[in-house]
Amino acid sequence: MTDQMILSNARIVLDDEIVTGSLLLRDGLIAAIDTGAQVSAGAVDCGGDLVTPGLIELHTDNLERHLSPRPGVDWPHEAAILAHDGELAACGITTVFDALRVGSIASPTGMGYKPYARALASEIHALREAGHLRISHHLHLRAEMCSQTLTDELDAFGPEDRVGLLSLMDHTPGQRQFVDVDKFRQYIQGKYGLPDETFAAYVAELKDLQATLGPRHEAAAVAAAARFGAALASHDDTSAAQVAQSAAHGVAIAEFPTTAEAARACRAAGIAVMMGAPNIIRGGSHSGNVAAASLAQDGLLDVLSSDYVPAALLTAALQLARLTGDLPRALATVTSAPARAVGLTDRGRIATGLRADLVRLRRVGETARPVSVWSAGQRVA
């Protein structure tokens, strides 16, 4: 039986324009686009609301928040995954790359962390295969260079795991995001309350790990991305030299470059620049790095990520539209641009033949409310 729906009298956000018209959805795909405000029999009257492509999230820590809602609390995983899935759907996100850390540390300072990604990925897969997840889930493996177990953890994954993105993460104090060690001190001691001597021992431990295993781990992670068929991302590039190294590895996406210099080098190297949506909303970086809005004004921002607030993705795109005066282009940072960056050719735009991943939006002050959300033609929120 054919599964069919018509959305009429909508302001449809296309690649470079907004048109009033109707969308015919059939068997999970966009079957036709017609112009005009008429409402045919049996159609959903959108009342002039915006209809956009479903949002695509490449980097989010949101699942971790559901897994551990308080320090030391391990929430039941199925419940956490389902809550995460439902929250994203309600925010208009129809494709997510769930970020899972690979690479762990057994530390005498008490600051270690254990492997978890393989088991959690299997739980996500099981829920997806059973049809319990509302939106499309892929994996983003965050490969920690400064760790002890990265190669073994990567070896537990294969091409069948839908790893679509692998990022090269190096949080060693004294470089990248934490080039200022005092910023690292504020973050770690503020979060965990470490005394000065324990913090100093932890910093020394991390620097030793990076020096002894970092190059080997970086090579293993680059090779793993090729084995998975995953896009490769850098993280917190600070200088043109670091971007050159990323380009040599075949990096497609630079997650959160910390300086305008690095962003310009990414543009010259053909690497897509991803910035955090909270950075746009707050008017700057919470850690003192380059402001995403300034990169957008200079034409150096390609992709937005909600990072730690799922609802930020849509709000930031609309704020970017006010900044640039170009709604289709602003929405592309959360739809077509992330799809293109990870090689998803079946979504991210409203065009015939593509997945019917759609969001109906209604303005609420300076933001908008997702009135309805469809994933592959099925309403999920």
**pLDDT tens track for 15-57:** 999 999 999 999 999 999 999 999 989 999 999 999 999 999 9
Q: What is the pLDDT of residue 174?
A: 60
Low-confidence ranges of the chain (pLDDT < 70): 1-2, 109-112, 173-174, 176, 179-182, 188-191, 286-287
The pLDDT of residue 2: 67
The structural domains of the chain, ordered by start, are 54-346 (3.20.20.140)
- Structure confidence by residue, pLDDT tens digits, 65-124: 999 998 789 999 999 999 999 999 999 999 999 999 999 888 776 666 789 999 999 999
pLDDT for the residue 186: 72
- Cα separation, 47 vs 300, in Å, equals 36
- What pLDDT is stored for residue 71 in this prediction? 78
Biggest distance spanned by C-alpha atoms of the chain? 72
Beta bridge partners of 364: 367
Residue 225: what pLDDT? 98
- Global pTM reads 0.92
CA contacts within 13 A on the Cβ side of 175: 15
Chain Cα centroid distance, residue 319? 18
